[in-house]
Amino acid sequence: MDTLDYVIGLIGLIAVGGVAAFVGLVRPKRRGRSLPPRPAEQQGRPLVGRPDEDRLPGVGDDAEVPRDSPSRSVDVVDLPAEPAGPVTERPEPVLGRLVRLRERLARSNSALGQGLLTLLSRDRLDEATWDEVEETLLLADVGIGPTTEIVDGLRERVRVLGTRDPEHVRELLRQELLSAIGTDVDRSLRTERHEDRPAVVLVVGVNGTGKTTTVGKLARVLVAEDKDVVLGAADTFRAAAAEQLATWGERVGVPTIRSERDGADPAAVAFDAVKAGIEAEADVVIVDTAGRLQNKAGLMDELGKVKRVLERHGPVDEVLLVLDATTGQNGLRQAAVFSEVVDVSGIVLTKLDGTAKGGIVVAVQRTLDVPVKLIGLGEGADDLAPFDPEAFVDALLS
């Protein structure tokens, strides 16, 4: 028994000594290895998943700190400072916009302007050439009536004056186009505040023509003129419509009156927008409307009601019909329906940057007997310009 005790004791001593020797060998090595220094703010703080340095490595332990281990806790990340308030944009001044945008107009309508000039500079202006002039105007959607007038007028003057000088012919064409468009029409927007209430602008049109975009761009035009503007989101038919409008408003610091719920009565929202405009002593209230309902009669009834309810505050100053220039004759038919219901006072022709059918300016005015007041020449926030016939024709013929 004594011998057995002695052997067990000896084995125990050897085992303890071996472990001590092993620890002695290993620990200095681990300490001596250079680990990447920990950031100062983490020192003294245990890191999740980091093996305890005083523990012996075992099977399955990582040889070193895994690269995907969290190296910083979330609370030490520097957050960007809170902005002081919403940043509002300063819209571009209106003056000279058409000059900036004329390049787009000239590019999209080169078939009209350059096409006519090329035809008219031919050596012989025979019957076939005049037919081609006519065709070019028709293709650009000028419409049959105005086309005949332009061609007849030009033909007569070229014959009487006997001129073939390209510069002179160009000037004659310019004059014919200008008289077809009309230079003595009042195209100003009625956005002057009345003594006791803001001016009210109602914007109508078929879906997708660019109504909401136009309301947003117009708000910018007015803000650039230092006017106080309120927007009314009377398109309660489409869920995202009010949001789209409010975003335009926010960019230039203009409030948007909208309903709390979808499908609310658009006339009530329009009424509230003007009420808010009166209370805030705003200069202009612009009301956006829906372009689509289940059926045409429903849409027209709704618009009629919006206008009537708005008129409880006083006459509506401007009813702008937004037309997509790329839809041609179809757009004209739609326009006629709107003008029957809401007594349109001005036309906004959008997307003139994307069509060769700039002649629609002439056709739409003739069909509705309403002037084009604004034109849209792009999706950019300031790509809306007052319609100026001279700048327009000069861009076509540049």
Ligand X SMILES: Nc1nc2c(ncn2[C@@H]2O[C@H](COP(=O)(O)OP(=O)(O)OP(=O)(O)O)[C@@H](O)[C@H]2O)c(=O)[nH]1
Query: Residue number with the shortest CB distance to Mg ion?
Result: 212
Q: Which stretch binds ligand X (CB under 6 A): 87-95, 224-232, 312-320, 378-386?
A: 378-386
Nearer Cβ to Mg ion (212/334): 212
The site partner of 374 among ligand X, Mg ion, none (C-beta below 5 to 8 Å per kind) is none
CA torsion 377→379→381→384, rounded to 10°? 20
- Beta strand residue intervals within 314-383, DSSP E: 318-324, 346-350, 372-376
- Beta strand residue intervals within 118-159, DSSP E: none
Smallest gap, in angstroms, from Cβ of residue 114 to ligand X? 21
The site partner of 367 among Mg ion, ligand X, none (C-beta below 5 to 8 Å per kind) is none
The site partner of 163 among Mg ion, ligand X, none (C-beta below 5 to 8 Å per kind) is none
Long-range contact pairs involving 41-49 (C-beta distance under 8 Å, separation at least 24): 41/76, 42/72, 42/73, 42/76, 45/73, 47/71
The site partner of 350 among ligand X, Mg ion, none (C-beta below 5 to 8 Å per kind) is ligand X
Smallest gap, in angstroms, from Cβ of residue 326 to ligand X? 9
- Which residue has tokens 């052997």? 7
Q: Could you tell me where the DSSP H helices lie in 237-347?
A: 241-251, 266-279, 296-310, 328-342
Among 106, 103, 124, which residue's Cα sits nearest to residue 115? 106
Selected from 191, 209, 256, 355, the binder of ligand X by CB under 6 A is 209
Task: Answer for the pair 94, 385: CB distance below 8 angstroms, yes or no.
Answer: yes
Interface residue list for Mg ion (CB under 5 A): 211-212
Beta-sheet strand order (sheet of 346-350) = 256-257, 229-234, 284-289, 199-204, 318-324, 346-350, 372-376, 384-386
Strand, coil or helix: 1: coil
Strand, coil or helix: 70: coil
Q: Is 212 in the site for ligand X (CB under 6 A)?
A: yes
Nearer Cβ to ligand X (274/352): 352
Residue 204: its H or E element: strand 199-204
Six-digit token string for 394: 């000069």
Smallest gap, in angstroms, from Cβ of residue 383 to ligand X? 6
Smallest gap, in angstroms, from Cβ of residue 230 to ligand X? 18
Among 129, 120, 128, 127, which residue's Cα sits nearest to residue 177? 120
Q: Which of residues 281-310 bind ligand X (CB under 6 A)?
A: 291-292
Site string for ligand X, 341-360 (x = CB under 6 A): ---------xx-xx------
Neighbour count for residue 343 (Cβ, 10 Å): 12
Nearer Cβ to ligand X (169/202): 202
Neighbour count for residue 148 (Cβ, 10 Å): 14
Q: Which stretch binds ligand X (CB under 6 A): 91-99, 139-147, 278-286, 374-382?
A: 374-382
Q: Which amino acid type is present at position 115?
A: G
Site string for ligand X, 136-175 (x = CB under 6 A): ----------------------------------------
Site string for ligand X, 221-250 (x = CB under 6 A): --------------x--x--x---------
Selected from 114, 129, 163, 207, the binder of ligand X by CB under 6 A is 207
Q: Report the largest interatomic distance among the alpha carbons of the chain, rounded to a whole angstrom.
A: 145
Smallest gap, in angstroms, from Cβ of residue 338 to Mg ion? 15
Selected from 64, 311, 379, 390, the binder of ligand X by CB under 6 A is 379
Smallest gap, in angstroms, from Cβ of residue 186 to ligand X? 23
CA torsion 351→355→361→365, rounded to 10°? -80
User: Footprint of ligand X on this chain (CB under 6 A)?
Assistant: 205, 207-213, 235, 238, 241, 291-292, 350-351, 353-354, 376-379, 383
